[in-house]
């Protein structure tokens, strides 16, 4: 009980410090963490300037390219309302947008300008509902949202597991999220975690990529994959990255499914999906309804071929993708590769095994392989070398630690 009280008090202190920081930013114009910016010229056609000046985030805007008219969109940490207003434009007057924020000053700003935005869009009334609330206890009904967006906010929440659980609760089956956030390549040390100033800078609350992806999967999301990865800052050897990622609440059909066979096409030689099932390139496996629903998600699409009957696929089939490393010496240059979805693990043709979210040091030959367009969507790349290494080429073999 004593530990629970301690952590509860610590979380409350962090939340208050972050809220005060963002409340002050509304009035003093402070620029918060923003690895990327908005297209103010385009958004300014229907969003008032006061809202544009109070926009903070690391995606521009996040997740809205997939929005369909009539959908329900939820923005976690809606701030001055910029992403909500852009979502409002995209869902149309028949759609609905919910914005949640914990800061009164931000909510007041957004609510003040909502009628103006509606008028500029030609709507009879605003379709945006701004609600005061916390990300870990959202004032939103279960299974009611088509899309969740969030722009550099979840890293500010002390208890991210609860946030992920709430996200899964409010999204309806078949729905999805697309969020931008700050993550780190290694755990944040205590001296940063207890620095309330750095919480507001989007640093202290950053999870490792492995923990972030793991927390979302533990909550129930599947098909997790990166949309963009942008190196942001390096502080005390810790790499902070701005990432935009998508995930889904899978919808499994209740209707009986005819026998279905799945063939993994590559580029990995072998992968393990998010339910722990392993597929080798070119091999066929019969799958059930749950696996079919998973492998049919957009993040898996193109990796698999589905047939009603076992149909052998030759390794020379044009659909099979295999990227071989050069047969030449390699260099160690400080590069690390991070598997960022959707697989739990994947193995390339040089016997490297990549685990979701776990940085793996790679040589110059492997970075060339992973830079191929067929591999690029699955990886984030960082370089931990503080200066260019002075090393001789080595023969890439198992004993050298390269493969």
Tell me the average pLDDT across 282-287: 94
**Whole-angstrom Cα distance, residue 215 to residue 169?**
14
Tell me the average pLDDT across 140-146: 98
> Phi, psi (5° rounding) for residue 304?
-130, 150
Q: Determine which of 230-239, 251-260, 350-359 has the lowest per-residue pLDDT on average.
A: 251-260
By the 8 A CB rule, do 359 and 338 touch?
A: yes
pLDDT at 197 over 90: no
pLDDT digits (tens, 9 = 90+) for 221-251: 999 999 999 898 999 999 999 999 999 999 9
pLDDT at 4 over 60: no
pLDDT at 156 over 90: no
Q: Residue 22 is inside which H or E element, if any?
A: helix 2-28
15 against 186, higher pLDDT:
186
pLDDT at 261 over 90: yes
| Band of pLDDT at residue 56, cut at 50, 70 and 90 | low
pLDDT digits (tens, 9 = 90+) for 362-375: 999 999 999 999 99
pLDDT at 387 over 90: no
198 against 60, higher pLDDT:
198
Give me the residue spans of the domains in the chain: 2-248, 260-307, 335-400
| Band of pLDDT at residue 8, cut at 50, 70 and 90 | very low
pLDDT at 269 over 50: yes
Q: Please report, rounded to a whole number, the percentage of residues in the chain having pLDDT higher than 90.
A: 67
> Phi, psi (5° rounding) for residue 297?
-65, 150
Tell me the average pLDDT across 179-202: 86
Task: Give the pLDDT of residue 188.
Answer: 92
Tell me the average pLDDT across 283-289: 94
pLDDT at 5 over 50: no
Residue closest to 130 by CA, chosen among 119, 120, 147, 115: 115
**Whole-angstrom Cα distance, residue 271 to residue 281?**
8
340 against 16, higher pLDDT:
340
Task: Give the pLDDT of residue 275.
Answer: 96
pLDDT at 29 over 80: no
pLDDT at 268 over 80: yes
Q: Please report, rounded to a whole number, the percentage of residues in the chain having pLDDT higher than 70.
A: 85
The DSSP result for 188-257, as a single string, is PPHHHHT-HHHHHTT-TTPEEHHHHHHHHHHHT-EEEEEEEEEEEEEETTEEEEEEEEEEE------S--
> Under 8 Å CB-to-CB from 211, ≥6 apart: which residues?
357
pLDDT at 60 over 60: no
Task: Give the pLDDT of residue 13.
Answer: 53
Mean pLDDT, the chain, rounded, equals 87
Cα 373–Cα 349–Cα 378 angle in degrees, nearest 5: 35
Tell me the average pLDDT across 53-74: 79
Q: Tell me the whole-structure pTM to 2 decimals.
A: 0.88
Task: Give the pLDDT of residue 194.
Answer: 84
pLDDT digits (tens, 9 = 90+) for 390-402: 666 776 654 454 5
pLDDT digits (tens, 9 = 90+) for 299-331: 998 899 999 988 888 888 999 999 999 988 889
**Whole-angstrom Cα distance, residue 362 to residue 342?**
20
| Band of pLDDT at residue 33, cut at 50, 70 and 90 | low
Q: Residue 60 is inside which H or E element, if any?
A: none
pLDDT at 2 over 70: no
**Whole-angstrom Cα distance, residue 353 to residue 170?**
35
Tell me the average pLDDT across 194-218: 88
By the 8 A CB rule, do 25 and 2 touch?
A: no
Architecture of domain 2-248: 3-Layer(aba) Sandwich (3.40)
Task: Give the pLDDT of residue 38.
Answer: 72
Task: Give the pLDDT of residue 141.
Answer: 98
């Amino acid at each position: 009980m004593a530990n629970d009280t301690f952590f509860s008090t610590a979380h409350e202190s962090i939340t208050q410090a972050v809220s005060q920081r963002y409340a002050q930013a509304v009035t003093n114009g402070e620029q918060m963490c923003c690895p990327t910016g908005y297209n103010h010229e385009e958004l300014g056609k229907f969003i008032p300037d006061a809202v544009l000046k109070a926009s903070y985030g690391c995606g521009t805007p996040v997740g809205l390219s997939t929005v369909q008219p009539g959908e329900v969109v939820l923005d976690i940490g809606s701030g001055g309302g910029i992403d909500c207003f852009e979502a409002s434009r995209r869902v149309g007057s028949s759609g609905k947008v919910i914005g949640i924020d914990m800061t009164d000053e931000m909510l007041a700003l957004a609510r003040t300008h909502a009628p103006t935005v509606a008028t500029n869009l030609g709507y009879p009334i605003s379709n945006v509902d701004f609600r005061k609330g916390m990300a870990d206890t959202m004032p939103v009904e279960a299974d009611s949202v088509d899309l969740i967006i969030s722009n550099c906010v979840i890293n500010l929440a002390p208890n991210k597991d609860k946030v992920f659980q709430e996200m899964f609760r409010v999204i309806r089956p078949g729905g999805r999220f697309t969020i931008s956030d700050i993550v780190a390549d290694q755990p944040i040390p205590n001296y940063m975690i207890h620095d309330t100033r750095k919480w507001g800078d989007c640093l202290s609350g950053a999870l490792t990529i492995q923990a972030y992806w793991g927390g979302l999967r533990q909550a129930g999301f599947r098909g997790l994959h990166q949309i963009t990865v942008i190196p942001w800052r390096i502080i005390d050897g810790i790499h902070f990255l701005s990432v935009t990622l998508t995930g889904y609440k899978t919808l499994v059909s209740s209707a009986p499914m005819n026998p279905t066979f799945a063939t993994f096409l590559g580029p990995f030689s072998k992968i393990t999906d998010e339910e722990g099932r392993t597929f080798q390139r070119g091999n066929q496996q019969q799958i059930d309804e749950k696996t079919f629903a998973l492998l049919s998600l957009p993040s898996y699409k193109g990796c698999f071929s589905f047939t009603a009957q076992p149909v052998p696929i030759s390794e020379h089939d044009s659909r099979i993708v295999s990227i071989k490393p050069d047969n030449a010496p390699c260099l160690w240059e400080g590069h690390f590769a991070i598997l960022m979805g959707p697989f739990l693990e994947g193995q390339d043709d040089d016997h490297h095994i990549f685990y979701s979210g776990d940085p793996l040091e790679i040589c110059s030959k492997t970075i060339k392989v992973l830079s191929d367009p067929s591999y690029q969507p699955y990886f984030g790349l960082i370089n931990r070398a503080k200066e260019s290494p002075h090393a001789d080429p080595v023969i890439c073999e198992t004993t050298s630690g390269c493969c």
